[in-house]
Amino acid sequence: MGHTKHIRRVEDYSSRTANYTCMSRASSYLENNPLFKSEDYIAVKLLPIFIRFLLLCKILNLKGKISPKGIYQYVIARTKYIDNVFIESIKKGIDQVVILGAGFDSRAIRLLDEKDRVKVYEIDIQTTISAKLKQYKMRKIKLPDNDILIPVDFEKENIRTKLNEYGFNKDKKTLFVLEGLIMYLSEDTVKDTFNFITDYSS
């Protein structure tokens, strides 16, 4: 019998990587070292109490053997960099943000004021969106009206069609965030995703 290579599917990994990224961001928020510290206080609220306790007491160290070498630092550097891009884009008058493979991203809550009219479209698979909404409800975290969660199977569904259904305006200036996703997509889907960004960039 021939060997069939297992193709990684985003639905197989999204929740797992979303959880790890959330835990890394929570750990970063609790850091004393300014080089590692980020501002994702929402991530801390989303953690189970026991994990939060382990991080607070420095018993759980994501810079240690629990993670592959350099992964924690990479996730935090990425988070801090994109946070800064997000903030600067808002200052420059961006109208919309599209976050592809959003996971437990909380930028629409922690980086936008109520007066901001910027719409944030968070796109991810249904399982991850459902998990996020469940956690928000359990932790009594209010989802802002301008934060729009859109379920999309990147390999099977058309991002353009889904965005149009949820009121996206391709003629408005938009920030596209693609963070920790494309390694789980097929080559054709990666190409189509970048073509979509080109097509929908005002």
Other C-beta atoms closer than 10 Å to the C-beta of 188 total: 9
What local confidence, expressed as pLDDT, does residue 166 receive? Answer: 96
Identify whether the C-beta of residue 116 lies closer than 8 Å to the C-beta of residue 194. no
pLDDT, position 11: 54
pLDDT tens string 104-127: 999 999 999 877 789 999 999 999
DSSP one-letter code for 143: P
**pTM for this prediction:** 0.88
Quote the pLDDT of residue 141.
95
What pLDDT score was predicted for residue 117?
86
Assigned CATH topology for domain 10-199: Rossmann fold (3.40.50)
pLDDT band at 1 (very low <50, low <70, confident <90, very high): very low
Q: What are the DSSP E strand ranges found in the chain?
A: 96-100, 119-124, 147-151, 174-178
Structure confidence at residue 188 (pLDDT)? 96
Residue 75 confidence (pLDDT): 93
Instruction: Read off the amino acid at residue 185.
Output: L
Distance separating alpha carbons of residues 162 and 166, to the nearest angstrom: 7
Q: What's the rounded Cα separation, in Å, for the pair 193 and 202?
A: 16
Q: Is 144 helix (H, G, I), strand (E, B) or coil?
A: coil
| Burial classification of residue 196, based on how many CB atoms lie within 10 Å of its CB (0-12 exposed, 13-18 middle, 19 or more buried) | middle
Q: Which of 171, 29, 200 is nearest to 100 (CA)?
A: 200
Query: pLDDT tens for residues 33-77?
Result: 898 999 999 999 998 888 888 888 888 888 877 778 899 999 999
Question: What residue ranges do the domains of the chain occupy?
Answer: 10-199
Measured between alpha carbons, how far is 154 from 61 in angstroms, rounded to an integer? 33
pLDDT for residue 172 is more than 60:
yes
Rounded CA-CA distance 148/1 in Å is 47
